[in-house]
Amino acid sequence: MKPLPFEKNQVLFGADPTEGVVAVEPVGEDKMRLFLRRGDRLETRDEPFTPFLLLENEKLLQGFKQPFRSEKFSSTNDYKVLALFDRWGDCAKARTYLHKKTGQPASSPQAPYLFLSDPVHQYLLLTGKTLFKGLSFKDLHRLALDIETATAPGYAFSNPQREEDRILSIALMDNRGSEEVLFGTEYGEGEMLEALGSRITQIDPDVLEGHNIFNFDLEYIVTRARMHGVKLPWGRDGSEPRTRRSRFSVAERVIDYTRMDIFGRHVVDTLFLLQYYDVAARELESYALKSAARHFGLASPERTYIEPEKIQWYYEHDPEALKEYNLDDVRETLALSELLGYSFFLQTRIFPFSYQNIFVRGNATKINALFLREYLRQRASIPKPGVAESFAGGYTDVFRHGIVRPVVSCDAASLYPSILISYDLKPSGDSLNIFLPLLKDLRDFRLEAKKQAQTAEDPYQRDYYEALQQTYKILVNSFYGYLGTRLHHFSDPHLAGEVTRHGREIIVQMIEWIREQGGEPIEIDTDGIYFVPPPGVKSDKDVMVLVEQLSDSMPKGIEVEMAGKYQAMFSYKKKNYALMDDHGNVIIKGSALRSRGMEKYLREFLSDMIQLMLQDKGKEVYPLSQEYLNKLEDHEFDIGWLAKTETLTESLESYRGKVEAKKRNPAATYELALASERPYRAGDQVSYYVTGKAKRVKVYENSKLTSDYDSDKPDENVAYYQAKLLDLLKKFKEFLPQNGS
Check: CATH 3.90.1600.10 for 385-428+492-595?
yes
Whole-angstrom Cα distance, residue 108 to residue 113? 9
Cβ atoms within 10 Å, residue 716: 19
pLDDT for residue 2 is more than 70 = no
* Other Cβ atoms closer than 10 A to 734: 9
Among 119, 120, 73, which Cα is nearest to 92's? 119
| Residue 4 confidence (pLDDT) | 56
The pLDDT of residue 724 is above 50: yes
State pLDDT tens for residues 428-476: 999 999 999 999 988 888 888 888 888 888 887 888 888 888 888 888 8
**How does pLDDT run across 68-79, given as a tens digit for each residue?**
999 999 878 999
Q: What pLDDT digit, counting tens, does each position of 524-548 carry? A: 987 789 999 999 998 999 999 999 9
Any idea what DSSP says for residue 555? P
What mean pLDDT is predicted for residues 135-157? 90
Question: Could you give phi then psi for residue 487, rounded to 5 degrees?
Answer: -110, 0
- What proportion of the chain, given as a percentage, has pLDDT over 70? 98
pLDDT digits (tens, 9 = 90+) for 17-67: 999 999 999 999 999 999 999 988 999 999 999 999 999 999 999 999 999
Sheet with 644-647: strands ordered across: 644-647, 685-690, 703-705
Neighbour-count burial for 314-341, b at 16+ CB within 10 Å, e otherwise:
bbeeebeebbbbbbbbbbbbbbbbbbbb
Sequence-separated contacts (24+) of 97-106 with Cβ below 8 Å: 97/61, 97/63, 97/64, 98/53, 98/60, 98/61, 101/60, 101/63, 102/60
Q: How confident is the model at residue 334 (pLDDT cuts 50, 70, 90)?
A: very high
The span from the CA of 457 to the CA of 447, in Å, is 18
Other C-beta atoms closer than 10 Å to the C-beta of 205 total 26
User: Does pLDDT of 3 surpass 70?
Assistant: no
> pLDDT tens, 253-273?
788 889 999 999 999 999 999
- Of 612, 554, 237, the closest CA to residue 411 belongs to 554
Q: What residue ranges do the domains of the chain occupy? A: 137-350, 385-428+492-595, 597-735
Inter-residue contact 90 to 66 (CB < 8 Å) = yes
Tell me what pLDDT residue 658 has.
Answer: 95
pLDDT at residue 193, rounded to an integer: 98
Q: Which residues does residue 33 pair with via DSSP β-bridges, in sequence order?
A: 25, 46
Q: Compute CA distances 44 → 34, 36, 637, whole Å.
A: 5, 6, 58
What does the DSSP assignment read for 675-723? HSSS---TT-EEEEEEBSSSSS--GGGSEEEGGG--TTS--B-HHHHHH
User: Could you give the CA distance from residue 420 to residue 233 in angstroms, rounded to a whole number?
Assistant: 51
Residue % of the chain over a pLDDT of 90: 77
Q: Do domains 137-350 and 385-428+492-595 have the same CATH topology?
A: no
**Architecture of the domain made up of 137-350:** 2-Layer Sandwich (3.30)
How confident is residue 741, by pLDDT bands cut at 50, 70 and 90? very low
Mean pLDDT for the stretch of residues 163-192 = 96
Instruction: Give the 3-state secondary structure percentages of the chain, helix then strand then coil, rounded to 5.
Output: 45, 20, 35
Q: Mean pLDDT across the stretch 311-331?
A: 97
pLDDT one-digit tens code per residue, 558-610 = 999 999 999 999 999 998 999 999 899 999 988 888 887 889 999 999 999 99
In the predicted structure, residue 217 carries a pLDDT above the cut 90: yes
CA angle 357, 363, 364 (to 5 degrees): 115
Q: How far apart are CA 205 and CA 143, in angstroms?
A: 6
In the chain the first and final C-alpha atoms are separated, in Å, by: 64
Residue 6 has pLDDT above 70, yes or no: no
C-beta neighbour count of 545 within 10 angstroms: 12
Does pLDDT of 499 surpass 50?
A: yes
What pLDDT is recorded for position 379?
96
Query: What is the side-by-side order of every strand in the sheet holding 81-84?
Result: 69-72, 81-84, 52-55, 113-114
Q: What is the mean pLDDT of residues 287-314?
A: 93
Q: Are the C-beta atoms of residues 410 and 561 closer than 8 Å to each other?
A: yes
The set of residues, in sequence order, having a beta carbon less than 8 Å from that of 541 and lying 6+ positions away, is none
Residue 612 has pLDDT above 50, yes or no: yes
pLDDT class of 684 with cuts at 50, 70, 90:
confident
Tens digit of pLDDT for each residue in 337-348?
A: 999 999 999 999
Topology adopted by domain 597-735: Topoisomerase I; Chain A, domain 4 (1.10.132)
- For the chain, what is the mean pLDDT? 92
Distance CA(101)–CA(108), nearest Å, equals 14
Of 399 and 453, the structure prediction assigns the larger pLDDT to 399
